[in-house]
Every structure is written in C-alpha cells, then in structure tokens.
Amino acid sequence: MRPVFFLLVLLALSACTGPVDDPYPASERGQSIYYSAFSEPPKHLDPARSYSSNETPFTGQIYEPPLQYQYLKRPYQLVPLTATAVPKPSYYDAGGHLLAASAPAAKIAESVYEIHIRPGIRYQPHPAFVTNQPIPDDAQAIPDFPEQATRELTADDYVYEIKRLASPRLQSPIAGLMSGYIVGFSDLSKKLDAAAKTEKGWLDLRRFKLAGVETVDRYTYRIHIKGKYPQFVYWLAMAFFAPVPWQADAFYSRPGMAERNLTLDNWPVGTGPYMLTVNQPNRQMRLVRNPNFHGETYPSEGEPGDKAAGLLKDAGKPMPFIDQAVYSRESETIPYWNKFLQGYYDASGISSDNFDQAVRTGTAGNVELTPEMKAKGIRLRTAVETSDYYIGFNMLDPVVGGLDDRHRKLRQAISIAIDEEEYIAIFANGRGIPAQGPLPPGIFGYRAGKAGVNPEVYDWVDGRARRKPIEVARRLLAEAGYPDGRDAVTGKPLVLNFDTSARGPDDKARLDWLRKQFRKLNVELVIRSTDYNRFQDKMRDGSEEIFEWGWNADYPDPENFMFLLYGPNRKVGAGGENAANYENPDFDKLFVEMKDMDNGPQRQAIIDRMVSIVRVDAPWVFGFHPKNFGLLHGWVSNAKPNLMANNGLKYLRIDAAARERARDRWNRPDWIGPILLGLLMILGLVPAWWAWRRKQEAAVYPNGRAG
C-alpha cells in the first residue's frame, strides 16, 4: 500500500507543474517568423509542373516571373517584378510587316512581346552554381551541401524555362495551351520527345531552338505569339514563366539525386525573397529570407480606404519584413483551429465546424467577429473570390433549352424561384454574394450597385437589389406554357431533371432544398445522382438537363469568364468549357470583338451588351460568387486578400513581441486546478492509508503496540 500511496501523491504533485504546450523551440521566441500550416503536402515545386493551390504558398515566394499583381489595387493590375515594365505587344501581318496598335485582330499574324529584365538580380545560394561539387554521402537536403554559390539572373534563364514547358518529360499542365499560342512550341515538343527516347540523363535545352522565343541580349528576350492573344500577358505573372537556370536543371539530373528526393520538385532554385531550407512534407516546410534578394519596396498606392486601414504605413519601405515562414502539417481542422486560438498560428481560415465560434451575423445583416475573437484582438478579412458557382441549363435539351421566347421565360422563372440569398445563408454560412451575371467583382467589366443588377431576376428597392416576388416567376411560367406547373396543352405536370455527382449524406439537405425551390412553381425536380465519371460522360454527350457547375479564374480578364458562354467553345461536339452548350450569334460576335480589346470604355460597353444578352437568355441560374473569410491575429499587419497574387508573404509584418505576450497570457499553466486535485487526492487517501496502517499494526501487534 505504501508504494501505491506515494506514487499517487507524486502523480498529484506532478499535475501541478504541467508544461505549456508550445510547439516551437525556445530559440524562436521573439523572432520575426510567420507561422502557418498546410493539410496536403505539395507534390510539385518545379515551376513547369506546379499548378495546385497547396503549392503556390511556396512557389510564389521563391520564384519570380517577370510580372506580378499590384498588391493593393482592385481591379487587379499587372506591374513589373523582375521586368522593367509591363510589355506591350507589337503586331505583325503575315508578311512580317509591323502593324498599328489599333490593327484589327483578323490582320494580325503574330504578337511579339519584348521583355527587359533588371540587371543585378541574383539567385539564392545553391550548390547548383558550384562546379563539379560531389554529392555528400549523407546528403538528404540542399542545405547538406557544404558549398553554395550564386550568379546573376539573365534573359537566357527565362528562355530556358519556356523550353522546359515543351518537354514531354515534364508534362507541364499548360503545354497543350501554349502549343496553340507560342510559335514553334509544338515543333520543339516533338524534337524533345524524340531526343528523350535516345538520350538518357540531362537534356541540355540550350541545344534546341524554339522559334517563337529568342534571347535579344543579356537582359532582353522576345516571345512570338500566334495571332492576337492579349491575355498572354497574364501568364507572365505565373510561376510557369519564372526563370530556371540551366545549372539547376543539370544539377538535379545527376545520378543518385532523384533517389534522395533531390529534385526541382522538392528543392526550388529562385531569385525571390525566400528560399526553402526545410522540406519535410509530413511534418514541416520552412522558408528563410534569401540573403541575395535584390530588394523591393512596399507599394505606395492602393484603393480608397487602404490608408485608413493602415495598409500604407509601410509605403516605400524595403521588403520583405519577415525573416522566416514555418508551415506545419495539420491534417485535421480542429488541431489547427485550437493552435490558432492559442496564438501558435498567425492566421486561419474558418471551417464550417468553427464558423459559429468565429463569426456571427450582426443586426444589420453584416458578418462580424464573435466577442471571444474580438477579445483576442483577432481581425476578420474577407474578399469575394474570382469564381462562379451556377446552375446551368443544357441548351440542347428540348424542354429547358432553346432561344425562343417560351424557353427563355421558363429559365427566367426558375432563376427567380431559386433563392440564392437563402442558399448562401444556409449552406455557405453567409460566405458569398448573389451573382448578377457571369463576371465576379475584381474583374474588368463587372458593375456594382444599381448599374450591375440583373433586371430579369431583381428589382432595385431602397438602395439594394431585391429578388422579384415568386408571383412574377409564376406568371413567366404560365407565359412559357406551364400554368401552375402543368403543360397548357396536355395538362401533364412539368417534371425536370437535375443531374449531379453529389451522392453523399451531406448533399441530401442541399438537394432537398433545391427540390423545394422548384416546388414554389409546382414543378417536380427529379435528382439524378451518379458517379463523377458517368456525370462527365453526360456532360460530354449532352444527355443532362439541368446541372451545377463552377469556375475559378486563371487570370483576371473578362475573357476568362465570357468564354464559358461562347458558342464554339461548347462542351458537346467541341469539348470546350461552355458546359451549357449556349450559342447566341449576337453574343458570339461580341465575344470575338471583346476578347482582343484592351480595357477601356469601348470594351466596357461591349461587355455590358454581352451581359444583357445572357441575362435575358438565362442559360445559367447565376448563382453566387463565394466569399473568402480569413482570420488574423492582431500582431499581423499589411494583410489584404489578393486572390490573383501568390507572393503575399513579403508584404506581411509581424510584431513578434506582441505575439509572445499574447501566447504567454493565453497559455499559462493552470496551477489552481491541479493543486486542488492533488490535495483532494491526498486527503481522500489519508483515511484509507490510516485504516491500512492500523490493520498492519493489528497483525503485528495483536495485543496492541507496547508502550
């Protein structure tokens, strides 16, 4: 009994000294380090291959394409990064003659972009720039190499990377698209494919010519584009067009490197403000300030309200402000959320599980932080995403398709009946805004306020858009030949089919809600759920009737959304992204004119006409644009959501002292509880111990202990 008793006493006392669960080493306290997390390890950090959202937090800080997005301004604007200016194309006809900038697209055979980069930019320290360095026996990471060197960035490095995009070995996700635009791209791809079949090891791409890309001098290169493709300039802000030095390509092709996971997919080589020093994808990724970074200053201009929000306090100051960024693997949302509340992560999204704990709807209908979040100094940042979520009608379907007045009114009636405001409130936690057309905010051509309201679905009342009464939808349905939801000729009820790949238990409530929307019109909606492959087959062969779809912008241009409704881009027969198979000659003619225009009043006028056409035709129920919600601790400054840019780390500033004070305050050991527990355990055991002792004494001294 005695050993057990004293063991319990020790356990009780040890509970009084419970450690604070700080996940970081003490040596990092007070340092300018940004702490975040990731759920899925990045697969590709090679700029020719990387295209996933879980990879851009790393590639965006390491690589530098020639252009970037202005951090604060909206609509999104391109500005130089390593380039001296945003290039403006020169146009040439089929005979090679220079054309005026205003030349019609039909006469333009080639667009030539000449890009000048700034001298003096140098790569991060890396063993690839050390000639003939042997591979250390214990090398498992790039920092394991004893010698590191650098060199200056040149135009050749950009040309080399564009050639890499054409390599069949790499299978770049944009190779197919670029083969249709960059002159000679397809020819180079064929040559590289043939060479790869006969040559093992490194293919030195400097040996191969790409007709449409040329080096002019040490700091200048040109790209030749087929015809007119003004959206190409946006690709120059993506990591695909960041520089890769030939030395890095050769270094990672050495025998024995791939077996150690020493590849460009795991260890990038860039000129950006940060470099990767730890790559343990199941535990931690660490970015450290690049000592060779060429320097950049915080923007001096922004939107109205940015100055009042404190977003211009660092205007003109050199970046980056943060020395390191540590990303820890968190496969589940609850541990991530709890560590954020403890101050161990600097920012967090809001999952459905945590939504009510984080935010609530105010009396004016606005979303605001809960008192618990406000008490911690946490701030809410929101931004409407450049995305569309919509319900589409198959315009080839005999019931819901067609451009005649009858079918238009049927689709308009359904558009009014489906209450997107209610959907956003119930299923998106209020995180979205109802769409008034195909363009989301932040894209040129989008109109806000009264000028942007869809008059086929909404009225403008008391300074805001209000969905038309259901009576209007019922009247339109009757005019379409379905009074009270029945065919005026046959008297049969109108039955429509909704095709979806949603089949899980979580989808049931949403699909039941959708049926309810159609019942407002006395229309029966049949849900036809199937697996994703079968659903895709239906979309390709046009056997669906009504469906749900979405689109995220690749670049902030109206062409990237309007092409979703361009007739020749239809899904059936052409394999394009026009999932509704919508085809209106007036819209298509305007699209061809609009897509090659520069932003300005003339382009805006054409976009307005296009939006008006699709509002009347209603090939989509214009659903909603999702709203991004993010939480930041008060010690993080200069944070503004930029949904196009991926290089936002360099703009952020951390008040490390304020963070340490908050962590200490929020994570103090609970002494009182364990002490009381220990005392109760001790007091509770005293009677049992005393009885045990008396029993032992009675056994030893049956006649009582001698005096």
Can you point out the beta strands (E) in 501-599?
524-529, 546-552
AA identity, residue 127:
P
| pLDDT reported for residue 680 | 62
Confidence band, pLDDT 50/70/90 cuts, at residue 235: very high
- Identify whether 398 is preceded by a cis peptide bond (ω within 30 of 0): no
CA pair distance 390, 581, nearest whole angstrom = 14
Report the pLDDT averaged over residues 236-241: 97
Banded pLDDT at 676 (limits 50, 70, 90) = low
Rounded CA-CA distance 696/49 in Å is 77
Burial class (CB in 10 A: 0-12, 13-18, 19+), 63: buried
Least confident span in 5-14, 592-601, 615-624: 5-14
CATH of 387-628, one of 3.40.640.10, 3.10.105.10, 3.40.50.300, 3.30.1330.10: 3.10.105.10
When the pLDDT of each residue in the chain is averaged and rounded to a whole number, the result is: 92
pLDDT for residue 15: 44
- pLDDT-derived band at 22 (thresholds 50, 70, 90) equals confident
Find where tokens 């990387």 sit: 50
Q: Tell whether the model's pLDDT for residue 412 goes beyond 60.
A: yes
Predicted pLDDT of residue 575: 87
Q: Could you give the count of Cα atoms lying within 13 Å of 266 in the half-sphere of its Cβ? A: 16
Q: How far apart are CA 409 and CA 481, in angstroms?
A: 9
Strand locations in 436-553 (E): 458-461, 464-467, 495-500, 524-529, 546-552
Crossing angle between the packed helical segments 508-519 and 420-427, to the nearest 10 degrees: 160
| Dist. CA 653–CA 315, nearest whole Å | 13
Strand partners, 36: 327
- Nearest Cα to 345, choosing from 633, 610, 139? 633
The yes-or-no verdict on residue 9 having pLDDT over 60 is: no
Listed residue (176, 177, 204) closest to 192, CA to CA? 204
CA distance 585 to 582: 10
331: CB partners within 8 A, 6+ apart: 39
Res 153: pLDDT: 98
Asked whether the beta carbons of 582 and 564 are under 8 A apart, the reply is no
Bridge partners of 297, per DSSP, are 318
Q: State phi, psi for 425 to the nearest 5 degrees.
A: -65, -40
Residues 509-521 have a mean pLDDT of: 96
pLDDT over 80 at 211, yes or no = yes
Mean pLDDT in residue range 435-440: 97
Task: Give the model's pLDDT for residue 504.
Answer: 75
- Residue 18, pLDDT > 50, answer no
Task: Mention every residue, 6+ apart, whose C-beta is less than 8 A from residue 444.
Answer: 75, 556, 557, 558, 599, 603, 604, 607
* Position 592 confidence tier, pLDDT thresholds 50, 70, 90: very high
Residue 678: predicted pLDDT: 62
Q: Where are the domains of the chain?
A: 2-19+670-700, 43-264, 387-628
* Stated pTM of the model: 0.84
Instruction: Report the C-alpha gap between 268 and 62 in whole angstroms.
Output: 7
Give the side-chain half-sphere CA count within 13 A for 577: 11
User: With 50 as the cut, is the pLDDT of residue 316 above it?
Assistant: yes
pLDDT of residue 670: 63
Q: Check the CA dihedral 599-601-605-606 and report its sign.
A: negative
Average pLDDT over residues 186-201: 94
Res. 692: pLDDT tops 80: no
Six-digit token string for 575: 């394999």
Binned at pLDDT 50, 70 and 90, residue 5 comes out as: very low
Mean pLDDT lowest among 361-365, 411-415, 616-620? 361-365
Can you tell me whether residue 163 is helix, strand or coil? helix
Structure tokens, 23:
């996940």
Q: Answer yes or no: is pLDDT of 471 > 70.
A: yes
465 Cβ contact list (under 8 Å, min separation 6)? 434, 436, 453, 458, 459
Whether 493 has a pLDDT exceeding 60, the answer reads: yes
- pLDDT tier, 470 (very low <50, low <70, confident <90, very high otherwise): very high
Residues sharing a CB contact under 8 Å with residue 689, sequence separation 6 or more, in sequence order: 1, 5
Range 125-150 average pLDDT = 94
Mean pLDDT over 185-208 rounds to 95
140: tokens are: 């498992």
Q: What is the per-residue pLDDT for 400?
A: 97
- What per-residue confidence (pLDDT) applies to 707? 43
Beta strands in 451-567 (DSSP E): 458-461, 464-467, 495-500, 524-529, 546-552
pLDDT at 365: 60
| pLDDT band for position 351 (cuts 50, 70, 90) | confident
Maximum Cα–Cα distance for the chain, whole Å? 126
3-state secondary structure of 205: helix
The pLDDT score that the predictor gives to residue 673 is 58
What values do phi and psi take at 114, rounded to 5? Answer: -105, 125
Among 182-191, 361-370, 594-603, the range scoring the smallest mean pLDDT is 361-370
Q: Which helix (H) or strand (E) holds 56?
A: helix 56-62
Ramachandran area for residue 26 (φ above 0: left; ψ -120 to 50: alpha; else beta): alpha
Q: Which band of pLDDT confidence, cut at 50, 70 and 90, is reported for residue 13? A: very low
10 Å CB burial of residue 109 (0-12, 13-18, 19+) is middle
**Sign of the dihedral through C-alpha 118, 203, 224, 227:** negative
Give Cα separations from 602 to 51, 55, 325, 438, 442 (angstroms).
34, 38, 45, 19, 19
Task: Check whether 207 has a pLDDT greater than 50.
Answer: yes
pLDDT at 366: 74
Handedness of CA 225, 228, 233, 239 (dihedral sign): negative
Task: Supply the angle between the helices 2-14 and 672-700 in degrees, to the nearest 10.
Answer: 170
- Domain at 43-264: CATH architecture: Alpha-Beta Complex (3.90)
Report, in this order, helix, strand and coil percent for the chain, each rounded to 5. Answer: 35, 20, 45
Bond prior to 146 in cis (omega within 30° of 0)? no
> Which residue is listed with tokens 């930029």?
642
Is the confidence at residue 467, as pLDDT, over 80? yes
Instruction: Assess contact for 449 and 438: CB atoms under 8 A.
Output: no
Place of tokens 């879980």: 54
Model confidence at 698, pLDDT cuts 50, 70, 90, reads low
Alpha helix segments (H runs only) across 108-253: 155-165, 175-179, 185-198, 232-235, 246-252
For residue 539, what pLDDT band results from cuts at 50, 70 and 90? very high
Q: Are 616 and 408 in contact (CB under 8 A)?
A: yes
Taking 90 as the threshold, does the pLDDT of residue 239 lie above it?
Answer: yes
Q: Please compute the mean of the pLDDT values over residues 571-581 and round it to a whole number.
A: 92
- Give the pLDDT of residue 360: 87
Which one-letter amino acid corresponds to residue 648?
Answer: G
pLDDT of residue 367: 82
* % residues pLDDT > 90 (the chain): 81
Q: Distance between CA atoms of 133 and 154, rounded to whole angstroms?
A: 23
pLDDT in tens, 628-645: 899 999 999 999 999 899
The average pLDDT across 49-66 equals 95
